[in-house]
Amino acid sequence: MIRLHNVSKTYRTDKVETLALKDIDLAVERGEFVALMGPSGCGKSTLLNLIGLLDRPGRGSVEIDGAAIGSYGDKTVARLRNRTFGFVFQSFHLIPDLRVIDNVELPLLYRSLSGGERRKLAREALTRVGLGARMDHFPNQLSGGQQQRVAIARAIVGRPHVLLADEPTGNLDSKMGAEIMDLLLQLNAEGTTVVMVTHDEQEARRVGRIVRVFDGQLVGQEQLHAA
Ligand SMILES: Nc1ncnc2c1ncn2[C@@H]1O[C@H](COP(=O)(O)OP(=O)(O)OP(=O)(O)O)[C@@H](O)[C@H]1O
């Protein structure tokens, strides 16, 4: 469902040019769980951002369900992104002044839904991640693992086909990290495609496929479990 053809990305600042990705060819099929691994600065987050339509490649093409997005305008891309992808980050990115339920509703504000419908979907998403009893808390009243669950609820509330997670367990201890992995594996088993950046080899061995990145290039793949 996601195809990157010959994708390169260069970051330019006043003085420096960084070739962050070089000639990437990558396909992710519906239902897969893919882990992107590689040393710091090798281009993993850049790759995840291109897959999730948060950024555009300098060269090459990105296709979602057979449609090349290169010719799409920014508004069309934003709508496609909102419907296709849910995002989870290492540092949760919850809004501290909003209650848990209101954080989870945020991605739905861009859809034409009533307040009641938004609340119902947010409740369902929070129940799905095991936080049905914490809806009226504020983020700082929750543990790190619980905050990441709220972030996952926010990522899945709009029923995206694909979850993109950038080091989702990076700020958690190993027990909480393993619980977040359990949840991501469960969502994948229920049909959500997952692409995750991780530095943790043990974690990566639980997913379907490991894609290794080095110096802006794909340098190896391991198929571990069938999708
Ligand atoms: N906005 C930016 N402007 C300029 N250079 C950037 C920008 N974002 C990333 N880079 C550079 O591009 C390269 C790839 O960065 P990226 O964040 O994708 O790596 P990463 O593998 O995710 O690293 P880490 O594991 O440390 O998060 C690095 O050399 C980085 O310094």
Cα–Cα distance, 133 to 125 (Å, whole number): 12
The preferred substitution site among 16, 22, 46, 169 for testing ligand 1, maximizing ligand atoms within 8 Å of CB, is: 46
pLDDT at 121: 97
Does residue 106 belong to any structural domain of this protein?
yes
pLDDT at 19: 95
Residue 171 exposed, middle or buried by CB count within 10 Å (0-12, 13-18, 19+): middle
- Per-residue tokens: 163: 């979850």
Span 48-66, mean pLDDT?
Answer: 97
Full-model pTM: 0.95
> Which residue's C-alpha comes closest to atom 28 of ligand 1?
41
pLDDT at 2: 97
42 lines ligand 1 (CB under 6 A): yes
User: What is the interface pTM, i.e. ipTM, of the complex?
Assistant: 0.97
Residue 209 near residue 33 (C-beta atoms within 8 A) = yes
Does residue 26 belong to any structural domain of this protein?
no
Query: Over the stretch 97-124, which tens digit does the pLDDT of each residue have?
Result: 999 999 999 999 988 899 999 999 999 9
Does residue 1 belong to any structural domain of this protein?
no
> Which residue's C-alpha comes closest to atom 12 of ligand 1?
20
Q: Which residue reads 């260069």 in tokens?
A: 10
43 lines ligand 1 (CB under 6 A): yes
For the domain that residue 46 is a member of, what is the CATH number?
3.40.50.300
Residue percentage of the chain with pLDDT more than 70: 100
Is residue 226's pLDDT more than 90? no
Mean pLDDT estimate for the chain: 95
Is residue 71's pLDDT more than 90? yes
216 lines ligand 1 (CB under 6 A): no
Residue 132 near residue 126 (C-beta atoms within 8 A) = yes
Is residue 227's pLDDT more than 80? no
What residue numbers bound the domain in which 193 lies? 33-55+83-223
Is residue 152's pLDDT more than 90? yes
Query: Over the stretch 161-199, which tens digit does the pLDDT of each residue have?
Result: 999 999 999 999 999 999 999 999 999 999 999 999 999
Domain count, the chain: 1
39 lines ligand 1 (CB under 6 A): no
| Pairing relationship of beta strands 162-166 and 2-12 according to DSSP bridges | unpaired
Does residue 10 belong to any structural domain of this protein?
no
13 lines ligand 1 (CB under 6 A): yes
Ligand 1 atom at minimal distance to the Cα of residue 47 = 18
Helix (H) or strand (E) holding 119: helix 115-128
Does residue 15 belong to any structural domain of this protein?
no
Does residue 213 belong to any structural domain of this protein?
yes
Long-range contacts of residues 203-207, Cβ cutoff 8 Å, at least 24 apart = 203/35, 203/169, 203/177, 204/35, 204/37, 206/181, 207/33, 207/34, 207/35
Does residue 211 belong to any structural domain of this protein?
yes
146 lines ligand 1 (CB under 6 A): no
Ligand 1 atom at minimal distance to the Cα of residue 46 = 18
Does residue 75 belong to any structural domain of this protein?
no
Residue 158 near residue 111 (C-beta atoms within 8 A) = yes
> Which residue's C-alpha comes closest to atom 17 of ligand 1?
45
Question: What separation in Å is there between the alpha carbon of 138 and the centre of ligand 1?
Answer: 32
Annotate 114-133 with b (16+ C-beta within 10 A) or e (fewer). Answer: eeeebbebbbebbebbebee
| Amino acid sitting at position 72 | Y
> Which residue's C-alpha comes closest to atom 5 of ligand 1?
11
